[in-house]
Chains A and B, each alone.
Chain A
Amino acid sequence: MSEAVTGHSIFSIEITDPSDVVSARSKAREIAAGLGLGSADQTRLATAISEITRNVIQYAGPGGGVCRLFDESDNEWIRIRIEVEDWGIGITDVVAALRDGYSTGGGLGAGLPGARRLMDQFDIQSHPGCTKVEMSMIRRRHHG
């Protein structure tokens, strides 16, 4: 089994109920701590996951979605990749959705752009029936 290419899945949770958002973010924080991230980065990661999984609850409909965490770390780097996928109606205008203050759901419009700022890599693909956010946090390991 090669872990170098895609890493291995370390956590997966279905997002169908508002309490799943709480579970996802607290578990993410725990995992981030276990992988050696500092407390500020643990909070950044957990907060970003909270924002993205909330969108699933708010927009994806009854089908909900799923949130997966992958450990892609090596000796030099700690890399955590997160995938949040849902099968809802999709985001019509992804570019607008990444702008501060843009919301179609009566929200603040701070979630997506906020999460993007907290993470090191951020990608979103959306079409009707599938929206997928992929984001990573990458930190150099401190040896010794």
Chain B
Amino acid sequence: MRIPILRLGNILLTSIQVDLTDEDVMLFQNDVVNEVSRTEAMGLAIDITALEIVDSFMARVINDTANMARLLGAEVVVCGIQPTVAMTLVEMGRGLLGAQSTFNLEQGLIVLRQRIVQRADLWAFDDDERSRDRPFNF
């Protein structure tokens, strides 16, 4: 079972629609991280609206995937965590899902676009007044 990864401009979008085995979740992680690297995506949205059960293993892998994509250079949001899933994960203990999340995919895409725009602003600091506050010249 492979989860499709869609490309929307500089954002990658992936939605887990079926309950996955542990092996499928690991395959998903591998696919997503490689695709982020290959496309040099600026943003990644992981939609889990359809997941009714997220146990500690699945939570960890989703979290790790988000962190890996972030390490590569992408902004990441996890979208659509169900209320019962949120209750269960918090009750089980410790921060099992710590990635930034949004209510739904639509909000996730808005957040990603905002962050990508902010980043572009930071990069275009040449004549920016912000550059005066920078301690170093690159």
Chain B residue at minimum C-beta to C-beta distance from A53: B55
Task: State whether the Cβ of B93 lies closer than 8 Å to any Cβ in chain A.
Answer: yes
Chain A residue at minimum C-beta to C-beta distance from B21: A18
Complex Cα distance, B135 from A110, in Å, reads 44
List B93-128 residues whose CB lies under 8 Å from chain A. 93-94, 96
List A21-59 residues whose CB lies under 8 Å from chain B. 21-22, 25-26, 29, 39-40, 42-44, 46-47, 50-51, 54, 57
A contact patch SS:
helix
Report B81-98 CB contacts with A as 1/0, cut-off 8 Å: 011110110011110100
A108 touches B57 (CB 8 A): yes
Closest CB in chain B relative to A54 CB, distance in Å = 6
A43 touches B85 (CB 8 A): yes
| Residues in chain A near residue B22, CB distance under 8 A | 18, 21, 54, 57
Task: State whether the Cβ of B54 lies closer than 8 Å to any Cβ in chain A.
Answer: yes
Task: State whether the Cβ of B56 lies closer than 8 Å to any Cβ in chain A.
Answer: yes
Known: A18-B21, A21-B22, A44-B88. A54 touches B57 (CB 8 A): yes
- What count of chain B residues pass the 8 Å CB interface test? 23
| Residues in chain A near residue B57, CB distance under 8 A | 50-51, 54, 107-108, 111
A→B interface (CB under 8 Å): 18-19, 21-22, 25-26, 29, 39-40, 42-44, 46-47, 50-51, 54, 57, 100, 107-108, 110-111, 113-115, 117-118
A46 touches B87 (CB 8 A): no
A117 touches B91 (CB 8 A): yes
Complex Cα distance, B84 from A29, in Å, reads 12
Complex Cα distance, B54 from A54, in Å, reads 13
List B20-72 residues whose CB lies under 8 Å from chain A. 20-23, 52-57, 60
A47 touches B53 (CB 8 A): yes
Complex Cα distance, B92 from A46, in Å, reads 13
B53 touches A25 (CB 8 A): yes
A117 touches B92 (CB 8 A): yes
